[in-house]
């Protein structure tokens, strides 16, 4: 039995409401064990009996997305992360963490989506200490450090918020990710 994390994109915003209890019940109805939701932003930890091939992961992802579409009536898209990989993603965060910045991981569905996100990264200040925000690539993620209170106004936020990334990315704060471990 493998442990997994499903990160839903676009729930509890823009009129798409998915209550945590209903979300957890859907995962149980789909036959998954040890289901728990984390916060109200579409984070589900669960156990599933599948192998570790790309085809089996794709089938699991499609099964969950289909269940979400059917139950909640929206165009569902998720990122599926092996639970063990989550600790590595958190540990791989390359920037200093402090009280003045948010630490994010932008999960991507493909390497191409990650590369396109990184290709559009505007340059910061003259050195690291001058940068308003910081961005770096990782395995399946783009790490992002943004100033508290202004993260939606930064250049990277505007770039990552473009329609072309809607179906390929979802962002989580590292504090949220730690709650899933």
What is the per-residue pLDDT for 153? 86
Q: In what order do the strands lie in the sheet with 43-48?
A: 33-37, 43-48, 2-8, 78-82
164 or 33, higher pLDDT: 33
Give, as one character, the DSSP assignment of residue 152: G
Residues 72 and 115 in one domain: no
Q: What is the pLDDT of residues 107-134, one digit of tens each?
A: 998 889 999 999 977 655 434 544 688 9
Residues 15 and 70 in one domain: yes
pLDDT of 46 over the 90 cut? yes
Q: How many domains does the structure of the chain reveal?
A: 2
Residues 98 and 137 in one domain: yes
pTM: 0.87
pLDDT of 68 over the 70 cut? yes
CATH code, domain carrying 109 = 3.30.70.1260
Confidence of residue 26 (pLDDT cuts 50, 70, 90): very high
Final residue belonging to a domain, choices 44, 62, 83 = 83
Residues 72 and 99 in one domain: no
The parent domain of residue 17 ranges over 2-83
**CB within 8 Å of 147: residues ≥ 6 apart:** 100, 101, 102, 132, 133, 154
Residues 63 and 104 in one domain: no
């Amino acid at each position: 039995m493998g442990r997994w994390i499903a990160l839903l994109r676009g729930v509890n915003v823009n009129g798409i409401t998915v209550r945590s209890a209903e979300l957890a019940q859907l995962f149980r109805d789909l036959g998954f064990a040890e289901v728990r939701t984390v916060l109200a932003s579409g984070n589900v930890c669960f156990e599933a009996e599948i192998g570790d091939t790309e085809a089996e992961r794709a089938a699991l992802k499609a099964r969950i997305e289909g269940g979400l579409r059917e139950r909640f009536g929206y165009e569902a898209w998720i990122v599926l992360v092996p639970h063990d990989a989550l600790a590595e993603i958190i540990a791989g965060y390359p920037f200093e963490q402090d009280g003045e910045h948010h630490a994010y991981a932008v999960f991507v569905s493909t390497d191409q989506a990650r590369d396109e996100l990184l290709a559009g990264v505007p340059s910061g200040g003259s050195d690291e200490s001058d940068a308003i925000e910081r961005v770096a690539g990782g395995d399946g993620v783009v790490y992002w450090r943004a100033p508290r209170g202004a993260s939606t106004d930064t250049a990277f936020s505007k770039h990552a918020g473009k329609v072309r990334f809607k179906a390929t990315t979802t962002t989580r704060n590292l504090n949220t990710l730690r709650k899933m471990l």
